[in-house]
Amino acid sequence: MISIGIIGAGIVGERIIKQIQQENGVEILAVYDEQQERLKVLHDTYGVPIVETLEEVFHSRIDWLYIGTPPSSHAAIAKQAASAGIHVLSEKPLAHNAADGEAMVKAAMDSRVQTAMHFPLMYSPAVREMAKRIRNGSIGRVVRVELQTFFPDWPRAWQQNPWIASRSQGGFIREVFPHYLQLIHRLFGELKIESHHTTYPEDPEKCETGVIAQAVAVQHEIPVLLTGLSGIGQMELLEFKVYGEKGVLTLENWSTLYAAKKHEERQLITDMTPVPSLFEEMKKHSALLVPFEEGLIIQRYIDYLLLEKE
């Protein structure tokens, strides 16, 4: 049995609550958010214990703390948790910037607590199947990796809040790219971003509207193309594609996996082995968890992509 405290009761925090309530051997001991009305809604809906102050969370005998607040608050909360000897699960991105991320890594190391990033793709059957097919050579030598993300609107309709559209904390580079950059890191190792162009609206308070970047996975010398665009006339589409000499794998909209071969239509992959959930891996202190050190690598990529000019 592991016990968890939750700080941040927004949409993603609510998803975490629902996920935990489907798990065995995991209990929520405290949920905190600055918006007390929002807390009452969660209590009435899910029956979770809520508290009125941050300090009450740290004194609630929890094993793990989940941080689901805006990025600028991650470092302070994580350092406080680490000093209290509490393991920390952080929402992505790791922090507001790499400097804050470095402080989070140091605090965890100094206090010898375990850390993890909330990257659901790591616990996805489709992603595990994709990784297996890449590693067993079924698509041959990988010659290119592409991430394409298209959003008709940003923020998305279900994601309206004061900071998600802000240049200081929001945008799809912070919210969506970390998932796929982390996946690229796990599959192909270190990335070197060789060039990028990020566009912003005239309003200095608003987040990016587009990015295109060329990179290379250093270990295998694989070219990587990263693109993102919002405010366009189409349905939302997220495509992560791995091109091999014998076949192509496409992870579409998070969890749908296709495989293609030469001169053939792509085929939907449905026969996939179930995999342990994030919380099952947390109970085992598994090496499959993504630690803060890895989150910091991704944070540095994010910081670089958010630069308007190189």
Q: Are 130 and 27 part of one and the same domain? A: no
**CATH number of the domain bearing residue 233:** 3.30.360.10
Q: Are 206 and 172 part of one and the same domain? A: yes
Q: Is 288 a domain residue?
A: no
Looking at the DSSP assignment, which residues form a beta bridge with residue 150?
Answer: 229, 237
Q: Are 63 and 165 part of one and the same domain? A: no
Q: Are 73 and 182 part of one and the same domain? A: no
Q: Is 149 a domain residue?
A: yes
Q: Which two tokens stand for residue 178?
A: 């970390």
**pTM for this prediction:** 0.95
- Whole-number Å distance between alpha carbons of 211 and 241: 17
Q: Which two tokens stand for residue 98?
A: 């790499």
**Burial (CB count <10 Å: 0-12, 13-18, 19+), residue 52:** exposed
Q: Are 99 and 164 part of one and the same domain? A: no
Among residues 117, 150, 178, which one ends one of the domains? Answer: 117
Q: Which two tokens stand for residue 17?
A: 């609550």
Within 10 Å of residue 94's Cβ, how many Cβ atoms? 32
Looking at the DSSP assignment, which residues form a beta bridge with residue 87?
Answer: 64
For the chain, what is the domain count?
2
- Whole-number Å distance between alpha carbons of 302 and 249: 25
**pLDDT by 10s per residue, the chain, length 310:** 999 999 998 889 999 999 999 999 999 999 999 999 999 999 999 999 999 999 999 999 999 999 999 999 999 999 999 999 999 999 999 999 999 999 999 999 999 999 999 999 999 999 999 999 999 999 999 999 999 999 999 999 888 888 999 999 999 999 999 999 999 999 999 999 999 999 999 999 999 999 999 999 999 999 999 999 999 999 999 999 999 999 999 999 999 999 999 999 999 999 999 999 999 999 988 888 999 999 999 999 999 999 976 5
Q: Are 270 and 143 part of one and the same domain? A: yes
**CATH number of the domain bearing residue 89:** 3.40.50.720
- Whole-number Å distance between alpha carbons of 249 and 139: 8
- Whole-number Å distance between alpha carbons of 281 and 283: 5
Q: Is 300 a domain residue?
A: no
Q: Are 147 and 265 part of one and the same domain? A: yes
Q: Are 218 and 255 part of one and the same domain? A: yes
Among residues 75, 101, 117, which one ends one of the domains? Answer: 117
**What is the structure's pLDDT at 309?**
62
Q: Are 152 and 48 part of one and the same domain? A: no
Q: Is 83 a domain residue?
A: yes
Q: Is 166 a domain residue?
A: yes
Q: Can you list the alpha helix ranges (DSSP code H) found in 47-113? A: 54-58, 74-83, 98-111
H or E, element range at 304: helix 292-305
**What is the structure's pLDDT at 310?**
52
Domain holding 93, by residue range, is 2-117
Q: Is 175 a domain residue?
A: yes
**What is the structure's pLDDT at 287?**
83
Q: Are 181 and 163 part of one and the same domain? A: yes
Residue with structure tokens 């559209």? Answer: 165
Q: Are 172 and 260 part of one and the same domain? A: yes
Q: Are 107 and 133 part of one and the same domain? A: no
